[in-house]
Amino acid sequence: MITELENEILIEKKAETSNCISVKNVTISFKTNGKGTFTAVKDIDLDIKKGEIVSIIGHSGCGKSTLMNSISGMVKPTSGEVTVNGNKVTGPGPDRGIVFQNYSLLPWMTVYRNVYEAVDSVLKDKSAAEKKEIVEYNLKMVNLLQHKDKLPSQLSGGMKQRTAIARAFAINPSVLLLDEPFGALDALTKGSMHVELLKIWNLNKRQQTIVMVTHDIEEAIFLSDRVVVMNDGPEATIREIVNINIARPRNKKDIVHLPEYMKVHDKLLSLLVKNLSIDDVIFE
Amino acid sequence: MKSIFSLKTLYSIVYFVGSMVILLLIWSLVSAITKNEIPGPIATWSVFFEMLKDPFYDYGPNDKGIGIQLWSSIKRVMMGFGLGSLLAIPLGMLMGGSKFTMNLLNPLIQVLRPVSPLAWFPLGLLAFKASEGATIFIIAITSLWPTLINTAFGVSSIPDDHKNVGKAFGFSRWKYITKILIPFALPHIITGLRLAIGVAWMVIVAGEMLSGGVGIGFFVWDSWNGLSLEKILSAILIIGFVGLLLDKFFNGLQNYFAYENKK
């Protein structure tokens, strides 16, 4: 069933064939203490279209966060370049909202203040009333309005993450960067957060491009249009990009029975996991 | 919940009283050993009581009540401590915020910090041409170090997580300082201030012994000249208790601004 909104989105997506994010030939090395350099990722090429949701998946330490940080501007590529909406990335900017791995809320501010300060900083031209409205709208979207006067220390992990998501969405960025956003949450909370994220994305007419780092295969399939599988580092490269051809809106319960889901799940599993049963474990 | 709180308060009162009893016992013992050359608690009490009966009398420059002496000392300490802190906090932030200033100024601090307040006194006299200014000067210059060092430490230990928030959302320099740097460093700054007020209160006695005039330090010296050991012991007790109160005040501030404990 294609609703009017869906139709509109499809048309818009066709019109916007240009890339939103373009990672060109990026290599990122770090200086290590006296021991020379450590190359986290090497020769990465990746194009992401406007309105796409792309997951980057890989083992711990494979450089997926580093790659993400080169898009956010937190890390400068040693060679190559990243462009977002045609502009070269030279540092963090308000066109890219970031949700950090460990939420990164300021502990001395209430939920409301945490979101407000970001809005106040990015949307300088808006009046105080408008800013207040934006903050409250975004807190309502993540169901935190009634908790707006609490400090982060009084929140559960899921609530902290929702605050961080509200903060990232509130500045209305064209790109959202999520660094293992649901990694610290329990499975049940995680499941409902996935749906909430897609709901917000839908409310914004699927115009926002979302890049997410994860190590959870089911999460990647449920959320993404494409999954980027990384090789193990150092000098990590892209192993394969897997398309997820499952129509939206997706239903968490139903999609697992789709042949496409099973096919993709199998593929990702075999790309990422070497030992699938006890017979695969070889003792030497 | 309330009964637990009052029980805790009761315990701390009991411990405090116990501690004071030990003090009185040692004091009495020393007094007995010195054959009352050092007056005991009871002999001191009657003099102390006399002093407290009229703390604000003023019979000319060399004969003032203990209240006047104490108040002028506290005023001096606050002036010196305030000036020192006004210098130390911004300088500490500058040092904590940049490795360059830290490396540049750290040796200077290490050299000046151990200098005795008394060594600064002549320089103060020369600079201010008056003992009042000199006393405030030595309090300022000896009490600024703990604040400076703690502020620098606090600012330099801001976690990357907090800094990244500022970067990701494009905080202006002013917003970064007021919304991230100061809230994070505040508990450290207050720890520095707490140590600094302790130093300032110690320095005041030495300073006033040199400068003369009015003040609790001068009072101790004047009592020595008048050979009233009871007065000296009373003054020591007063100095101790005022120091305790100042420390408690900053301890309260510390708890108030410790955001981790806020519930």
pLDDT confidence bin for A236, thresholds 50/70/90: confident
Candidates A91, A121, A153; nearest CB to B169: A121
Cβ neighbours, 10 Å, residue B128: 14
Contact A93 B170 (CB under 8 A): yes
Check pLDDT > 60 for residue B148. yes
Q: Could you give the ipTM of this predicted complex?
A: 0.79
Average pLDDT (B79-96) is 95
* Chain B nearest C-alpha distance from A115 (Å): 10
Helices B66-97 and B229-257: crossing angle in degrees, nearest 10, is 40
* Chain A nearest C-alpha distance from B166 (Å): 8
Residue A225 has a pLDDT of 94
Contact B259 A102 (CB under 8 A): no
> Among all chains, which residue has been given the structure tokens 């998501």?
A165
Share of chain B above pLDDT 70, in %: 96
How many whole angstroms from its chain centre is CA A152?
A: 22
Which tens digit of pLDDT belongs to each residue from B194-221? Answer: 999 999 999 999 898 888 788 888 888 8
Check pLDDT > 70 for residue B69. yes
Backbone angles phi, psi at A99, to 5 degrees: -110, 115
A54 in reach of chain B (CB within 8 A) = no
pTM: 0.80
Check pLDDT > 50 for residue A46. yes
Which H or E element spans position B68? helix B66-97
Candidates B175, B259, B263; nearest CB to A121: B175
Average pLDDT (A26-45) is 85
pLDDT confidence bin for A10, thresholds 50/70/90: low
- Three-state DSSP string of chain A: CCCHHHHHHHHHHHHCCCEEEEEEEEEEEEEECCCEEEEEEEEEEEEEECCCEEEEECCCCCCHHHHHHHHHCCCCCCEEEEEECCEECCCCCCCEEEECCCCCCCCCCCHHHHHHHHHHHHCCCCCHHHHHHHHHHHHHHCCCHHHCCCCHHHCCHHHHHHHHHHHHHHCCCCEEEEECCCCCCCHHHHHHHHHHHHHHHHHCCCCCEEEEEECCHHHHHHHCCEEEEECCCCCECEEEEEECCCCCCCCHHHHCCCHHHHHHHHHHHHHHCCCCCHHHCCCC
Q: Considering chain A, what is the average pLDDT of its residues? A: 86
**Sign of the dihedral defined by the CA atoms of residues A49, A55, A58, A61, in that order:** positive
Burial of B25 (0-12, 13-18, 19+ CB in 10 A): exposed
Residues of A in contact with B171 (CB under 8 A): 117, 121
* Chain B nearest C-alpha distance from A118 (Å): 6
By C-alpha distance, the chain B residue nearest A69 is B168
A92 in reach of chain B (CB within 8 A) = yes
Question: To probe the interface with B, which of A101, A104, A119 has the most B CB atoms within 10 Å?
Answer: A104
B103 in reach of chain A (CB within 8 A) = no
Residues of A in contact with B167 (CB under 8 A): 74, 91-92
Average pLDDT (A155-174) is 89
CA atoms within 13 A on the CB side of A127: 2
By C-alpha distance, the chain A residue nearest B168 is A92
B8 in reach of chain A (CB within 8 A) = no
Mean pLDDT is lowest, of A117-121, A201-205, B259-263, for B259-263
And the tokens for A97? 């909202």
Which H or E element spans position B84? helix B66-97
How many CB pairs (< 8 A) connect A and B? 59
Contact A154 B263 (CB under 8 A): yes
Backbone angles phi, psi at A98, to 5 degrees: -115, 135
CATH of range B41-261; options 3.40.50.720, 1.10.220.110, 3.40.109.10, 1.10.3720.10: 1.10.3720.10
Dihedral angle, C-alpha A43, A46, A47, A48, nearest 10 °: -150
B263 in reach of chain A (CB within 8 A) = yes
Residues of A in contact with B180 (CB under 8 A): 106
Q: DSSP characters for B199-221?
A: HHHHHHHHHHHHH-SSSHHHHHH
Average pLDDT (A231-236) is 82
Residues of B in contact with A171 (CB under 8 A): 169
Residues of B in contact with A172 (CB under 8 A): none
Check pLDDT > 90 for residue A212. yes
Share of chain A above pLDDT 70, in %: 93
Q: For residues A124 and B185, what is the distance between their CA atoms, to the nearest angstrom?
A: 26
Candidates A107, A122, A151; nearest CB to B169: A122
Which tens digit of pLDDT belongs to each residue from B170-195? Answer: 899 999 999 999 999 999 999 999 99
B173 in reach of chain A (CB within 8 A) = no
Angle (CA) A159-A165-A171 rounded to 5° is: 140
Average pLDDT (B28-37) is 90
